[in-house]
Amino acid sequence: MPGSIELDPVDLRMLTALQNNARMSNKALAETVGIAASTCLDRMNRLREAGVILGYGLKVEPAKLGRPLEALLYVRVQPHRRPLVEPFVEHVLAQPETRELYHLTGPDDFLVHVAAANAQELQRLVLDELTARDEVALVHTNLVFQRWEGGPLLPPGD
């Protein structure tokens, strides 16, 4: 695996536990994986320094924040060139509805996960913020009915 580091079974148990509960204290994590708290802290620091652990995040429920309508917007940019792509990315990320943005291969260039207050706000986002841009050739929208998350991410074969 290019750019990967050697992870032993304790590292993998730590990563699994933290992906299931990132708020777990160092003491609780150490107990969960069966090592001393000081060893756990050293391992955590090594995983952060190696770039395996990038940070800790907070998940929020969009509907509880007044944004119950989630959608996936597939966007085609023409021409697909860096001078147009970078400003487009900055613009999309500046929109308060944007949750995630992916640069893709295939017929569509970008996938934007958004959360809007209602259908009118979603329409405004598509028409006024995306298709109004000269470089945007196509936007097609899929509404999200339900979302599930996968389990903890581990190296292949583990």
pLDDT per position as a tens digit, 33-71: 999 999 999 999 999 999 999 998 888 999 999 999 999
Domain spans of the chain?
9-49, 62-143
Q: What is the pLDDT of residue 158?
A: 62
Q: What is the pLDDT of residue 157?
A: 79
Domains 9-49 and 62-143 share a fold: no
Right CATH for 9-49 from 3.50.7.10, 1.10.10.10, 3.40.50.1860, 1.20.140.10: 1.10.10.10
Q: Is the pLDDT of residue 1 over 60?
A: no
Q: What is the pLDDT of residue 147?
A: 92
Q: Is the pLDDT of residue 20 over 70?
A: yes
How deeply is 109 buried, as exposed, middle or buried, from its count of CB atoms within 10 A (0-12, 13-18, 19+)? buried
What are 115-145's pLDDT values in tens digits? 999 999 999 999 999 999 999 999 999 999 9
Q: What is the pLDDT of residue 4?
A: 73
Q: How many Å apart are CA 156 and CA 113, to the nearest integer?
A: 27
Q: What is the pLDDT of residue 58?
A: 86
Q: Supply the CATH classification number for the domain 62-143.
A: 3.30.70.920
* 153 conformational bin, left if phi > 0, alpha if psi -120 to 50, beta if neither: beta
Q: What is the pLDDT of residue 2?
A: 55
What are 73-87's pLDDT values in tens digits? 999 999 999 999 999
Q: What is the pTM of this model?
A: 0.85
Q: Which residue has the tokens 């032993």?
A: 8
- Compute the average pLDDT of residues 13-35: 95
How many CB atoms are closer than 10 A to CB 33?
20
